[in-house]
Every structure is written in structure tokens, then in C-alpha cells.
Amino acid sequence: MRPLGRNLVLLGHVGIDVYIAKDRARVRHAGSAFNVACGVSGAGAEALCIATAGPRSRPDVLRSLERCGVRFLLLPTPDAADHVFVFEMTKAPEEQRLSRLSLGHGDAALSDQIALLPFDDYHFHLGSMPLESAVALVDKIKLEKPHSSLSCTLYAHHLQRPREWSNVLGRCDVVFMNDSELEEIRASSCLEDCAEDRLLVVTGGAAGAVAFVDGVPTLSHTPASGTVRCTTGAGDVLAGAFLGRLCRWRDLADALVVAVDLAAISVQDFGVEHVIGERASIGVPRSGIVQPDPQIPLAPLGSFSFSISRSHETRDATGLFVRRGGKLLLAAKPPQKAFVPGVLYVPGGKLEPGESAEKCAERELREETRLQDGNLAYCGSSVYWPDSSTRMVYRFLQFRVDNPLGEASANDDISEVSWHEEGALKRSDLFGLTWAQLWLDRFLGRVLTSTRQPAPTLKSISSVLQQITFDRNDRPDEA
């Protein structure tokens, strides 16, 4: 697992979708790179988009994305071909795609641009493209930017070519798939390979999405119900919003909530152009504690399935990752107090009525460990369902506590406390969500690693690429 890069680069194509409905035909910008870029923009994040595009790409639409934080480097498709899909909207969803009129990916041109990028702290996202093209791009990234992270979307047809797909999967740190692909993968017995040592985001349409961290079910969010007119491109919007928020603000809960809510907006009209600049309507702050709405019962990947549960009660609690002298404080609990007996937990406990998460964290630190006055910082949220039939769901608000004062001792619901070297801990030693949070700390760069480099700004990247030297508010003559 490589730490998540701070500069998001989208690789793919910009094309056109034609939607034929009863009243009229609608033409919209589309293509994997464009749809993902709309998600990035709608989430209030930034990215560099290197994409192939045909001659019918509209500069005004691309400029609207550039003003919202996505800079484009467009490369001509072979033979000046447009990538066009036509959808018959009066048919069932599985029959809607009628034809691909002309296709010119130009993936070799995408590969050539990777070596020109000036830094090494990137996160590359591969849009939809032929599998052999994805393999070539992955090899190029591995050669030219070995410390950069990578993500892709898994499609069911990839499983028909396991050798090529394993080459891509083995290099990806974040993988997106929908519930249908999850079932296909489960049937092919390669589910563990897809989840191990990476962040896996599984989408379930109106139910929302679930995040698995190194195979641990960690978080779910369900959007408010709304109008569904066209779902084409919604998965790309979700991926773009998720990656844009995660690369910039390093908060899994924030990324998942914004991505799911923005994807729900994207299905309300044909195409996804209408989500550009939608951040204000989502209502999520750029900082602070984000609380997902966990209506999807979480379970291990092997038995997980999408469903909605509205009869449960959500109880907020804190989890405290206490560090001092390079070691992490862990706690053992009596069997009657433990979610899973025989493993170690971090200290923490439930919020009292009217109590803020920060005050709860300070109180639980004193009550359970006798420590106090550490440097307290919120570092993410996670959700725990004891089982799918339970009426009580726990939403853990995780805090990092550095260098607290005092001598640690076990109290309250804890039977024993001990300090541990994090590098020596095994997954089997820990409660699942504790392991997942430690994995996220490393992946999101909260723990220093030898490969992390100072993060350049997106403007410094753009200044090297002469084609995109303008600032966000400038209005260039050409896209």
C-alpha cells in the first residue's frame, strides 16, 4: 500500500452521450474522464484531467469545469473521432445503450503525458478504457511515478480476462465497483484479492455506498431519496467526488458522504453536467466532523449484501488513538464488555446526552486511562453493526491524542492497558475498526513514511504544462 497522493490526475476520454426519450433527443458531454471531473468539481475539489477528446467537445462546458477547479489537457483522438454513445431511454436500463458510433481512445497519447508531470506525489484515476490500455498505463505509472497511488473502477467484463485484470488490480490502492460486480467477484472466488490492502468502495444505487478498508466493513452512507431520471455516469461522479475530497481533506467519512450525495443529484437529469459546482447544495463543510447516515447493515465482504434498515438506533461514541513516544495505547476489555472477545481496542466510549464529541473524548481519556491534556484532533468516522439484525448501530468518531500527561492505568470498562509499537501489530491482534483506522492513518499520510514527499500545489503542476497555465478564474480562448 502506497500513501494516497495529494494531487489528483484523471486519465480517460471526453465524449458525447445522446439520450433518446419520448419527447426529444438530448446531447450531453460524457466520457469517463469528463464524468469523473464533474464529480471532482461538484465536490469542491481540484484535479488535472488528461483526456482524449474529439472535435465536438464544447469549450464552454470545459471552461465551466476549469473555473471550478479541474484543469484539462486535451489530446486529439485518432482520426479526429468522437466517442459517442446513444441511449434509448424508453427501454429497460440494461437495453438502453444502443450503439457506440465512433471510438478513438488515444491511450498511447495519455501514457506519453505521464512522464512530463513534474512531481511524484500524485493519485492517478483510470477511467473506462480497454483493459490492455489500462495495463499499459499502469505499467507507465509504475515506471515513471513509482510512489504515486492509483485507482480504477472494476467492471464485470474485466473478470473474463483475469491475467490482465490482476495486473491492474495489483497496482490499485482504491477500487470502485457496484453491487452487481461484487456478486460476480464473489462467484469467481477472488473477493479477498480485490479487498486486501486497499480501499474498496461498493455502490448500491439508491441505497448508497459502503467503504471496506483492507477488507474491514468501515463506513456506509445512504442519501435522501429523490428523482431518478438517468443513472448513466453516476458511478463516475461518485468516484470523482470521493477521490477529490479524499486527496484534499483526507477524511474518509467526508469523502463518502459528499460522493454519495452528489451521485444522487447526478441521476436527476440526463448526463452529469448539472453537478458542476454543486458543492454548496450538498451542505457539507470543508472541515469538522461529518456524520454519515448508516442505513446499510455492514457485514464482512463474504456475506455482505445491499439492503436498507430504518428501524435501528444510531449511537455515537468516540475512539481514542493515543500515542506517546512512538507507541500506541491499546486496551483489553472483559468478555461481557467486548464486541469481539480476545482482541485489543482503543479507549473510548459513548457520548452522553448533550455532550460534544470532543468533550466525550477528553472525558473517556481520563475515565478509562487516567491520562489527560493530550493534543486532541478528530481523524475520521466509522460505523459498527454488531450484526445485521441488531437495533443498535455504533457510529464511532475517531480522535488522535498525542503526548497526553500522566501514567496510563486501566479503569471503567477496561481490564488492561498497554503500549505497543504499531509496526509490530498484526490484524488478528485488533478489533476490526481499530485495524482499519490504523491502515487509513498510513494511507492518508497521518503517519510519516519514507516515500512521502512535500506536496506540490495543483497550480505548480499546471505551470509546467504550458497548455494549462491559466488560473481557475481566467477565461482562456480555447479548452
Q: Domain extents for the chain?
A: 7-171+227-291, 313-443
Residue at 182: amino acid letter: L
Q: Which helix (H) or strand (E) holds 107?
A: helix 107-114
| Dihedral sign for Cα atoms in the order 381, 386, 387, 389 | negative
The single-letter DSSP state of residue 329 is E
Fold of 7-171+227-291: UDP-N-acetylmuramoyl-L-alanine:D-glutamate ligase (3.40.1190)
CA distance 145 to 264: 34
**Angle 343-324-358 (CA atoms, 0-180°, nearest 5)?**
80
Q: Any long-range contacts for 135-144 (C-beta under 8 Å, 24+ apart)?
A: 135/164, 135/167, 135/168, 136/107, 136/108, 136/111, 137/11, 137/107, 137/110, 137/111, 138/167, 138/168, 138/171, 139/167, 140/111, 140/114, 140/115, 141/114, 141/171, 142/171, 144/114, 144/115, 144/117
pTM of the model: 0.89
Strands, E assignment, 216-326: 216-221, 313-324
Q: Cell 471550478: give the residue.
A: 68
CA distance 158 to 444: 28
Q: Grid coordinates standing for 297?
A: 447493515
Sheet holding 416-421, edge to edge: 375-384, 392-402, 313-324, 327-332, 416-421
Tell which residue, 471, 457, 442, has the closest CA to residue 149.
Answer: 442
Distances (CA, A) of 36 to 51, 166, 226, 233: 11, 23, 21, 8
Tell which residue, 228, 223, 124, 120, has the closest CA to residue 171.
Answer: 124
Burial class (CB in 10 A: 0-12, 13-18, 19+), 55: exposed
Burial class (CB in 10 A: 0-12, 13-18, 19+), 83: buried
CA distance 421 to 227: 50
Q: Grid coordinates standing for 448?
A: 510519516
Q: Grid coordinates standing for 38?
A: 464533474
* Structural contact between residues 150 and 123, judged by C-beta atoms closer than 8 angstroms: yes
CATH of domain 313-443: 3.90.79.10
Per-residue pLDDT in tens (0 to 9) along the chain, 479 residues: 789 999 999 999 888 888 887 778 888 888 899 999 999 999 999 999 998 887 777 777 888 888 888 999 888 876 667 778 888 776 655 555 544 444 444 466 788 899 889 888 899 999 888 888 899 999 999 999 999 999 999 887 787 888 888 889 889 999 999 998 888 888 877 777 788 999 999 999 999 999 999 999 999 999 988 888 888 899 999 999 999 999 999 999 999 999 999 999 999 998 998 998 776 556 555 556 777 888 888 888 888 988 888 778 889 999 999 999 999 999 999 998 899 999 999 999 999 999 999 999 999 999 999 999 889 999 889 999 887 666 789 999 999 999 999 999 998 889 999 999 999 999 999 999 999 999 999 999 865 433 333 334 444 444 444 433 333 333 333 33
Distances (CA, A) of 441 to 140, 222, 402: 28, 25, 14
Q: Cell 512522464: give the residue.
A: 115
The Cβ of residue 188 has, within 10 Å, a number of other Cβ atoms equal to 14
* Structural contact between residues 169 and 141, judged by C-beta atoms closer than 8 angstroms: no
**Angle 286-235-151 (CA atoms, 0-180°, nearest 5)?**
75
Q: What are φ and ψ of residue 171, in 5° steps?
A: -105, -10
CA distance 168 to 310: 38
